[in-house]
Structure 1
Amino acid sequence: MRNIVFLFILIHSISFSQNKFTVYFDTDSHQLQLSELNKLDNFLKNKDAKILKLIGYCDYRASNGYNDTLASNRAKFVKGIIEKVTDQKQIEIESKGENFKQNSNLTLNRKVEIYYEEIPKKEIEAAATNDLNNQVITAKVGDKLVLKNLYFYNRSGVFRPESRPVLEELLAVMKKHPKLKIEIQGHICCQEGTDIENTSEVRALAVYNYLKANNIDPNRLSYKSFGSTKPIHKIPEKNEEERNENRRVEIQIIEN
């Protein structure tokens, strides 16, 4: 009996620790209007969160089967946006259709609830496990150092919150070693040939602009895009680990 009580308390505490964010849909639509898209985009870009589950809902106006499908499509639509913006995968989806306690205000029934856990700040800070300063001290001209745990939103040069410690560490290194000159080099994964969207260049430029905006002399900085021409692992990669290692930003020591 004690084990059952303990299990109940544990499950309750886990579910209680989850947070919820909600977006709302127009009648008979599984796509978000611009105002709700902006709300979702702001949430994803400004919240350090791990998305756990999406639940889709409908109002009662239509058949049960139709509403269940519509609610599922709403959840899938939100999942697609989350994957594009955050690169988070394997998010659980559930459809409740009209099978829940309906609100008298029908607009509040046409929704997707996003359940998430906030990532503690100490975990974000701990993400910068790469001791860049020690590597710079022992590096020779021409050496390349990977900026580990530097993350961007999908196909963009916008840094994810977890990247702050890495950027701050790089900035501190540049300030500590005033003679250090670097070339920032961008790489992508997954596709051979031309980097059509110039993602690798945009990301190298983002690091360059961050340092320049924080008073690092641009004469000490340059940037270059390599696309997918210098992969660590052969393309196509075998798994996500190899893809992550191929999509990277490196710094090459030009002068120290």
Structure 2
Amino acid sequence: MIRFLLCFFLLSTVAFSQAKFTVYFDTDSYQLNSLELNRLDVFLKNKDLKFIKIIGFCDYRATNSYNDTLALNRANYVYHIIEKVTNQKQIEIESKGENFTQNSDLKLNRKVEIFYEVLETDKTLPKDDKKNLSQQVSTAKVGDKLILKNLHFYNRSGIFVPESRPVLEELLKIMLANPNLKIEIQGHICCQIGTDVEDTAKVRALAVYNYLINNGVNKNRLSYKSFGSSKPIHIIPENNEDERNENRRVEIQIIAN
């Protein structure tokens, strides 16, 4: 029993180790006023957050059941804003009503707490259209990622379109000229959240991998991986075709050089 309680305590500590953002409500209202709505809007413009839990609260006035309902309405109101802005849906919602340690300043009790995690940011190098791939590789460090620009495939396949030939040839030339260079080829898709049902990202990364091997690069210098749609540059669903094209990409990560 003691062991169970200890494990439960440790898991609870981990579960609530996320960062927290709080918004405050007017008396007897489950909608944010314009000032708090603006604060939330600014906060949500951060694209690298994963939202975990939303908890609603009330001050002690009114009945317990009324406060439970009002606090839940506040949490749901914030949830729907987050869902609309970020398209994140799997967020736990809870109402504590008035059942918490109340602050003597009542306005601080009328709140919603948003628990979130800051997602790890990939070290993808910024775009530099003035540098070709060879120049980017020459200055890259281990761990850096480079986008293979202008590498495109036929729809839902790992078949290169003819316009992709120059970037493939450039990558091959780089690998042959730098025998110590090792890379991981990483595939990404756009447009859908969740499982890459057809493994399109993997198929495309594998296509680049096979192209290099078939043209003389030792396979011990190469690996490949699919990230599906889990690491988009732009939030899904994208706003336009440019954003979709930037999310559906192949990158190389420098493993050794």
| Structure 2: 5+ residue stretches without partners | 126-142, 154-158, 165-186, 193-230, 248-257
Instruction: Report the CA distance between 1:117 and its aligned residue.
Output: 1.4
Change in CA separation of 1:109 and 1:13 when aligned onto 2, cut-off 3 Å: closer
* Partner residue, 2:50: 50
The amino acid across from 1:121 in the alignment is T
Larger Rg, first or second structure (1 or 2)? 2
What residue is the counterpart of 2:129 in the other structure?
none
Separation of aligned partners in 1, 2:124 and 2:58: 36
* Unaligned 5+ runs, structure 1: 152-161, 167-187, 190-199, 208-247, 252-256
Which amino acid is 1:25 matched to? Answer: F
2:161 counterpart letter in structure 1: A
| In 2, Cα distance between equivalents of 1:70 and 1:123 | 43
TM-score (ref. length: structure 2): 0.52
TM-score (norm 1): 0.52
Count of equivalent residues: 165
Q: 1:18-60 CA deviation, whole Å, 9 max, x = no partner?
A: 1111000000100001111111111111251111111100011
User: Residues 131-189 of structure 1: CA distance to partner in whole angstroms, max 9, x if unpaired?
Assistant: 555547942269xxx982479xxxxxxxxxx544x8xxxxxxxxxxxxxxxxxxxxx99
Task: Give the helix-richer structure, 1 or 2.
Answer: 1
Q: Deviations over 1:52-90 (max 9, x none)?
A: 111100011111111111100000000000010000002
Secondary structure of 2:51's partner? strand
Q: Which runs of 4+ in 1 moved over 3 A?
A: 1-6, 122-126, 128-138, 248-251
Closer, same or farther: CA 33–7 of 1 in aligned 2, 3 Å: same
- 2:162 aligns with 140
- Secondary structure in 2 aligned to 1:117? strand
Distance in structure 2 (CA, Å) of the matches to 1:250 and 1:15: 34
Q: 1:203 aligns with which of 226, 240, 257?
A: 240
Query: 2:87 maps to what in 1?
Result: 87
Report the equivalent of 1:224: none
Tell me, yes or no, if the aligned pair for 2:188 and 2:232 is still in contact at 8 Å: no
Measured in 2, the distance between the counterparts of 1:122 and 1:89 equals 23
Q: Distance in 2 between matches of 1:118 and 1:250?
A: 22
Query: Does the alignment pair 1:75 with 2:97?
Result: no
The residue number in structure 1 matching 2:32 is 32
Alignment of 1:161-176 (within 5 A): 163-164=232-233
